[in-house]
Chain A
Amino acid sequence: MNPIATLGHYTLETLREIGRVAIFAAKGLKSCFVPPFFWREIFRQIMQIGFYSLPIVGLTAFFAGVVIALQTYVGFTRFNAEGAVATVVLITITRELGPVFAGLMVAGRVSSSIAAELGAMKVSEQIDALMTLRVDPYKFLVAPRIIAGTLMLPILVLICDIIGIMGGFLISVTRLEFSIGTYLAQTMNNFVMMDLVSGLVKAAFFGFTLVVFGCYYGFNSELGARGVGNATTNAVVFACICIFILNSLLTALFFGI
């Protein structure tokens, strides 16, 4: 086959897919603001996406904080700047690693589970059953997940930031011979609200994105176990890629680069 034709075919197919995801996201977003609201489903998704993700996100954040402190200390010692460890941990965690790690961990945990659950519901005609019972599947299945994802990711990231900074603090005072007072003072003095806010706004976007990909691939899952498996994989892969792209765009937007 002509390589240019092949390239053109894949480009067009990619654009079509982006269009389909965008339309799905717009429909899902609209359904978040139009009654009826399924409060019980929203609460269930808040628990599922937020509360149950907390251990894995917290653990990731803690070790991220530890590693940043250790690496920064080792690197900065070369030019006698090890005193900046607390500041580096603070900025890196709040601006970047907190939201990105939380986004990726929740994408792995939640996008896959949403895609699998909705894919299985499609295969077993439960989504059709909703329609015959006069329930809009977008309002019952997509909207609660979007609301939960968009609200809970910033909260998870806030907790993640605190745990990450604590990880850096603990390793610094126990292994790197920082004094508790100095480390805390440096952290407090260099805290900038915009760093935290930018991370939380990013998290809201990530939460929305990872839920939309999970729902989209679940809704469009092909029939059979293989179809559901592919939907799960695609949901996680594309959610992760999108998180990285969004992170770059939002970073440029927030910090005027």
Chain B
Amino acid sequence: MSNIVFDNVKKSFDSGLQVLRGISLTVDKGESHIILGRSGCGKSVLLKCLLSIFELTDGDIFVDGISVKDKKRRGEYMRKFSILFQGNALFDSMTILENAMFGVKQLGKKNAECKRIAVEKLEAVGLDESVFDLYPAEISGGMQKRAALARAIAIEPEILLFDEPTSGLDPITGGMICNLLRDTVRKLNVTALTITHDLKVAEFLADRASVLNDGNIVWTGHTKDMKNCGNEFVEDFYRASNVILDNKLR
């Protein structure tokens, strides 16, 4: 298990757009933390900064004390993560089994061992061998999400990152995926960081949540305390989420 520390993280783009304005946050070892916020508030940018896909404009991120800026320890830093992307990001040119094997192969394991691990993880997320030889485009969105999760956990990360894990899924499949994610995090005993705008997902998955607005963390705490936390934006966000949910039910 690992902890993550965001220390005054700022990110601007060449266009001059400042997306993150000084994020400071600690995710403890073994914690399942959610970052909530409206679309376009910088949640995914924060995740990409953590993964060093984007360079920070200022501040630093530490994972178990290793800085995202430490190029000498980049391999050690990156080995701690695995991510379930919003759009799954399965490789189109590979079958489901090859996708699940891909990350394991990079660890230098033999082909038979990679295959054994990949099959084990695919079965653990509820996929059977009828889909192993199919390509991502040939299976449903829910199955793709499961396959992407299998690929993510196959490399035995210490930190699992989930970017909008239920986006694009119907409510039933979304619920099944949420259950699967929660069970996976508990079973693997990993630190988890989830990014979502869906309050129900947050309440279901999180130990603690942080709310991101206008490039800043405006509140951190337990999701059950959101309703009356005293922060106007957070309370509005909570109420709006529930109104939308109520309207959906009607």
| Residues on A facing B (Cβ under 8 Å) | 44, 120-121, 124-126, 128-129, 131-135
B186 within 8 A of A: no
- Say yes or no: A132 contacts B78, CB within 8 Å: yes
- Say yes or no: A132 contacts B51, CB within 8 Å: yes
Distance in angstroms from A34 CB to nearest chain B CB is 15
Distance in angstroms from A48 CB to nearest chain B CB is 10
Give Cα A121 to B85, complex, Å: 13
Q: Which chain B positions have C-beta within 8 A of A126?
A: 89-92
The 10 closest A-B pairs by CB, nearest first: A129-B89, A125-B89, A133-B103, A125-B85, A126-B89, A132-B83, A134-B106, A124-B87, A128-B53, A134-B78
Distance in angstroms from B141 CB to nearest chain A CB is 13
Give Cα A236 to B172, complex, Å: 45
* A121, A124, A133: residue with the most chain B Cβ atoms closer than 10 Å: A133
Which A residue sits closest to B48, measured CB to CB? A128
Distance in angstroms from A89 CB to nearest chain B CB is 41
B38 within 8 A of A: no
Besides A124-B92, A128-B53, A132-B51, 12 new A-B residue pairs in contact (Cβ under 8 A), listed by A number: A120-B92, A126-B91, A128-B85, A129-B85, A129-B91, A132-B78, A132-B82, A132-B83, A133-B103, A134-B79, A134-B103, A135-B106
Give Cα A94 to B93, complex, Å: 37
Give Cα A52 to B87, complex, Å: 31
Q: Which chain B positions have C-beta within 8 A of A128?
A: 48, 51, 53, 85, 89
* A120, A126, A132: residue with the most chain B Cβ atoms closer than 10 Å: A132
Q: Which chain A positions have C-beta within 8 A of B83?
A: 129, 132
Q: How many residues of B contact A (CB 8 A)?
A: 23
Give Cα A163 to B58, complex, Å: 60
Listed by A's residue number, 21 A-B pairs whose Cβ atoms lie within 8 Å are: A120-B92, A124-B87, A124-B89, A124-B92, A125-B87, A126-B89, A128-B89, A129-B85, A129-B91, A131-B51, A131-B52, A131-B78, A132-B51, A132-B78, A132-B81, A133-B103, A133-B151, A133-B155, A134-B75, A134-B78, A135-B106
B135 within 8 A of A: no
B86 within 8 A of A: yes
Provide the B82-108 mask, 1 if CB < 8 A to any CB of A, else 0. 110111011111000000001100100
Distance in angstroms from B161 CB to nearest chain A CB is 8
* B51, B52, B53, B89: residue with the most chain A Cβ atoms closer than 10 Å: B89
Q: Which chain A positions have C-beta within 8 A of B75?
A: 134
Distance in angstroms from A122 CB to nearest chain B CB is 10
- Given the known interface contacts A126-B92, A128-B48, A128-B51, the answer about A133 and B102 at a Cβ–Cβ threshold of 8 Å is yes
- Say yes or no: B53 contacts A133, CB within 8 Å: no
Which A residue sits closest to B78, measured CB to CB? A134
Give Cα A133 to B107, complex, Å: 9
Q: Which chain A positions have C-beta within 8 A of B85?
A: 125, 128-129
Give Cα A24 to B24, complex, Å: 35
Which B residue sits closest to A128, measured CB to CB? B53
Q: Which chain B positions have C-beta within 8 A of A125?
A: 85-87, 89
* A44, A121, A128, A135: residue with the most chain B Cβ atoms closer than 10 Å: A128
Q: Which chain B positions have C-beta within 8 A of A124?
A: 87, 89, 92
Which A residue sits closest to B53, measured CB to CB? A128
Q: Which chain A positions have C-beta within 8 A of B52?
A: 131
